[in-house]
């Protein structure tokens, strides 16, 4: 088992087109959106965080 820490960041970014959920998982950057409201994008961000943490184990915040 590796002692290396996994790098994960999930954020909401807003622009003139809407609200985007962007994540960087160990160097791989992806996004979903645009969403029309902040609540939806916030819910998607939370779901994406759960997806990564429940599927890959707990991730320590850096």
What's the CA gap between 11 and 14, in Å, rounded?
10
Q: Is 61 helix (H, G, I), strand (E, B) or coil?
A: coil
Quote the pTM value.
Answer: 0.74
Q: H or E element: which one contains 35?
A: strand 28-35
Break the chain into its structural domains and give their ranges.
8-56
- Identify the bridge partners of residue 49 per DSSP, sorted by sequence position: none
- pLDDT tens string 3-53: 566 788 999 999 999 999 999 988 889 999 999 999 999 999 999 999 888
Return the structure tokens found at 46. 């939370």
Give the residue among 19, 22, 18 at the shortest CA–CA distance from 10.
Answer: 22
Give the residue among 41, 54, 56 at the shortest CA–CA distance from 10.
Answer: 41
């Amino acid at each position: 088992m590796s002692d290396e820490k996994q790098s994960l960041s999930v954020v909401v970014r807003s622009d003139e087109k809407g609200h985007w959920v962007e994540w960087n998982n160990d160097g791989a950057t992806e996004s979903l959106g645009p969403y029309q409201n902040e609540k939806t994008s916030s819910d998607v961000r939370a779901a994406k965080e759960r997806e990564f943490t429940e599927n890959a184990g707990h991730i320590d915040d850096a």
